[in-house]
Amino acid sequence: MSSPQKKIGALIVDDEELARHVVRELLATHREIEILAECANGFEAVKAFGEHKPDLVFLDVQMPKLTGFDVLELIGEDVCVIFTTAYDQYAMRAFEVHAVDYLLKPIGKQRFEEALEHAKRRLGEQMPSAQKLADAARPPQQFLERLVVNAGTRVTLIPAAKLDYVEAQDDYVALASQGKKHLKQQTIASLEACLDPHCFVRIHRSYIVNLERVVRIEPYRKDSRLAILSDGARLPVSRAGYARLQSLLEERK
């Protein structure tokens, strides 16, 4: 006697109730899929993922506070994803480049079936990182407005304008903001590419600073200087970093 087929656990994540309803209805004929939870925002999705460990996630890209990319980054685990999105040429291009399935709203039945079959074949495969997807989906000249940090069960959102400086720590960065430091798994080079270069400058191989926080530059050792910030922090400035800093400060005059 053959054993019953193992069900595929799924999450539906979308801030629009109608959109969740459509996905639920389209899944109704697929008895192999078990809907474990429906989530109306990214915070609920991160919590539900930890509780249910789904095999498959239907994930809205554009949600308030936490985007679909933020959710994937916070989950921090490989999971098979079908993104749902309103027309967004950059997001769709990113999904196509990384061979990730997506559904364009309003979702049609035939396209849904194709995406679901593709996703089922890919269950258990390694997915591209959320960071790569987010970077590829971001339109040119559109920079981060806030950073998302996951510390255990707590999610912290740091507006870019409140970021004082960034310090590299191997494969992590320490984000200094309002007297606190938040550790995030990301390289300083990839974060630098996401920050507005008119507001943030790489002053040293290990430091990026918010120009608004720089009070003065002091000489330190031969060919090096210190940037003194408004909160009293003292950051090393390399020769190349000083040239970049000077250039940006001149532009602001």
Q: Could you read off the pLDDT of 117-156 as tens digits, one per residue?
A: 999 988 877 777 777 777 777 777 789 889 999 877 788 9
Q: Are 158 and 150 in contact (CB under 8 A)?
A: no
Residues belonging to the chain? 253
Res 206 pLDDT > 90: yes
Give the dihedral of Cα atoms 252, 248, 214, 166; nearest 10 deg: 140
Q: Is 16 exposed, middle or buried (0-12, 13-18, 19+ CB in 10 A)?
A: middle
What tens digit of pLDDT does each residue of 62-100 get? 898 898 888 988 887 778 889 998 877 767 777 876 768
- Over residues 170-185, the pLDDT tens digits come to 889 999 999 999 999 8
How far out from the chain centre does Cα 133 lie?
A: 8
Q: Which CATH superfamily is domain 8-137 in?
A: Response regulator (3.40.50.2300)
Q: Would you give the end-to-end CA distance of the chain in angstroms?
A: 80
Could you tell me which of 17, 130, 19 has the C-alpha nearest to residue 68? 130
Q: Domain limits of the chain?
A: 8-137, 146-252
pTM given for the model: 0.81
Q: What is the pLDDT of residue 1?
A: 42
CA distance 160 to 138: 16
Each residue's pLDDT tens digit, 17-45: 999 999 999 999 999 999 999 999 999 99
Rg (C-alpha) for the chain, rounded Å, is 22
Overall fold of domain 146-252:
OB fold (Dihydrolipoamide Acetyltransferase, E2P) (2.40.50)
